[in-house]
Amino acid sequence: MKRKLSRWLTGLGSLFAFAQPTMAESLEVGKAVPKAEAKNHKGEIVRVHEVSAEGLAFFFFYPKALTGG
């Protein structure tokens, strides 16, 4: 019984350890956009600073399915 409770509490504690929120830094008005790149849904490389240079842009990032992120 003690072993089962100990495992359960350890699992619960580790869950809370990884559940801390992450905060992204906001860009200040007039600041340069970071030079970053990522793949879009078609597998094409998108350069953030090039797309934002064309005008207003909205970027949304999410973890790939089944990666645990």
Rounded mean pLDDT for each run of 10 residues along the chain, 69 residues in total: 64 57 71 82 87 80 65
Per-residue pLDDT at 64: 66
Q: Is residue 22 within 8 Å of 35, Cβ to Cβ?
A: no
CA-wise closest residue to 27 among 57, 64, 68, 66: 57
Dist. CA 17–CA 7, nearest whole Å: 15
Q: What is the pTM of this model?
A: 0.43
Per-residue pLDDT at 21: 59
Per-residue pLDDT at 30: 79
Per-residue pLDDT at 33: 80
